Structure 1
């Protein structure tokens, strides 16, 4: 009886597989797919007067967010650090948790950047981005030739 196991998927000869370590590459790539994503989902709604954004970010607090506008780009970032420490007579347990994200959105030219508002309720960051009011078009002007 042999204790050696054969890989269930072997698409290349042993020497090529060993040389390039194909199995390890695909194994590592599959593990990356299983990692949880920290990028929040974003919904964007547009009406005649504004854009409304909803950023799903449960577990955060409003003080965790930083929102900036720079060069017509809206930058939303958040960072949360937690530490839990339990000390008992026979043991000590410390747990750390860190989560962060950063999203950026190009803003159209018709946005009123000075009046963007943000509110955080029930795990969702709500942003209201007003559009600039349309200026009345010039009615026309008659020019006399001198």
Structure 2
């Protein structure tokens, strides 16, 4: 795949959308051969994602997308009070 022509990455409505399409044609004197394929993946981003700093790298057939976060996504414990509502 040629990442500059075949891969598209966008962010829309807090979702990361990755699309790729590949087409290969081989011709010789006796026959023609075509192979093609496409895929699309949509991933919801967490609220802490920094869309302006999303980056992507393609190397040896592997696409790596990095989404930096502004804060930790660790959970927070909530204390349970006993008694009547005040």
Same fold (TM over 0.5): yes
Q: Does 1:107 align with 2:49?
A: no
What is the TM-score of this pair, normalised by structure 1? Answer: 0.47
Aligned alpha-carbon RMSD (Å): 1.3
Post-superposition shift, 1:108? 0.6
Structure 1: stretches of 5+ with no match in the other structure: 1-59, 135-146
**Map of 1:56-95 to 2, 5 A cutoff?**
60-63=1-4, 64-87=6-29, 92-95=30-33
- Residue 52 of structure 2 is aligned to residue 125 of structure 1: no
Shift of 1:132: 1.7
Stretches of 4+ moved more than 2 A in 1? none
Distance 2:58 2:3 in 1: 6
Cα distance in structure 1, aligned partners of 2:69 and 2:22: 32
Q: Deviations over 1:79-136 (max 9, x none)?
A: 011110001xxxx2100111110001000100000110001001100111111257xx
Mapping of residues 48-63 of structure 1, within 5 Å: 60-63=1-4
TM-score between both structures, scaled by the size of structure 2: 0.77
Unaligned runs of 5+ in 2: 73-86
| Greater share of residues in helix | 1
How far did residue 61 of structure 1 move?
A: 2.2
1:61 and 1:126 map into 2 onto residues whose CA distance is 15
Say how many residue pairs are matched.
71
